[in-house]
Amino acid sequence: MDLVVDGRRVHAGTGGAPFDPARPCIVFVHGAGLDHTIWALPARYFAQTGRAVLALDLPGHGDSEGPPLTGIAAMADWLIAALDAADVETAAVVGFSMGSAVALETARRAPGRVRRLALIGAAPRMPVHPDLMAAAAADHRAIEMMADWCHGPTGHVGGQPSPGMWIMGGTLRLLERAAPGVLHADLAACDDFAAETRGIACPVLLIGGARDVMTPPRGARALADGLAEAEIVVLPDCGHMVLSERPNAMLDALRRAL
């Protein structure tokens, strides 16, 4: 499905079902250097169980036009404009990593538009290691570093529930699809992010991996302390890439919350 936001074409996956804004809507926001395809499992599940699904490609990502946005605040404003373009009054918003920061900021800026949040790999701050930032501006090493640091034991040594799937390889190929400059812009946005939770009253689910070195579980606990209503789910033996390392457990948590 394509939308027009700020004069540019935006692509959104709908989970394989026609999008109907009259249905309860769930919006999915991907992480740095990624695109809407990371949401294939939950998007399809919710689309087939009566929800309207928008798994968005942020500007400059996937099949969406335009340069990448510079900053989490700009992405949140863009997300609100995307809801307008899709005729969505209110939505549950699910974000992964950088997308969790976008979802949180969207709920702060437009509390009447967000009825629930589910934040995967979230933290009050998302500082980026200087070596990773430098590599993202230069060469392929940034992709290799992210694939290494983002995965826990399951990603490094196997264990994907779908036979024949290579978790690390899938992440490498996905990051390689990003246009030049996209990953660096996204990481810079993460590095500048500082969460503001005042005024967020909707229920929030925080999902993280017990072995996540990029946004460790203590970050979810710190976020929860500033939220009116928060639940934390920590998945064992899992790194930052919850969606590929523990897809079924992640979906179970989303089902209960949404």
| Tens-digit pLDDT profile for residues 66-78 | 999 999 999 999 9
User: Is the predicted pLDDT of residue 58 greater than 90, yes or no?
Assistant: yes
Phi, psi angle pair for 229, to nearest 5°: -145, 105
User: Is the predicted pLDDT of residue 85 greater than 80, yes or no?
Assistant: yes
CA distances in angstroms from 239 to 184, 185, 245, listed in the order given:
22, 23, 7
CA–CA separation, 180 and 178 (whole Å): 7
DSSP, collapsed to helix, strand or coil, labels residue 13 as strand
| pLDDT single digits (tens) 108-163 | 999 999 999 999 999 999 999 999 999 998 778 899 999 998 998 878 876 666 66
What does the pLDDT average to over 15-19?
Answer: 96
Give the model's pLDDT for residue 36: 98
Q: What is the rounded average pLDDT for all residues in the chain?
A: 94
CATH topology of domain 2-257: Rossmann fold (3.40.50)
CA–CA separation, 69 and 52 (whole Å): 26
Burial of 163 (0-12, 13-18, 19+ CB in 10 A): exposed
Give the model's pLDDT for residue 155: 81
What does the pLDDT average to over 87-96?
Answer: 98
CA–CA separation, 13 and 87 (whole Å): 16
Give the model's pLDDT for residue 229: 96
User: Is the predicted pLDDT of residue 47 greater than 80, yes or no?
Assistant: yes
Cβ-Cβ contacts under 8 Å for 180 (sequence gap 6 or more): none
Cβ-Cβ contacts under 8 Å for 74 (sequence gap 6 or more): none
- The domains of the chain are located at 2-257
Give the model's pLDDT for residue 138: 77
| pLDDT single digits (tens) 161-183 | 666 678 888 899 999 999 999 99
Q: Are strands 114-120 and 204-209 parallel, antiparallel or unpaired?
A: parallel
User: Is the predicted pLDDT of residue 213 greater than 90, yes or no?
Assistant: yes
Question: HSE of 122 in the Cβ direction (CA atoms, 13 Å)?
Answer: 33
191 close to 126: Cβ distance less than 8 angstroms: yes
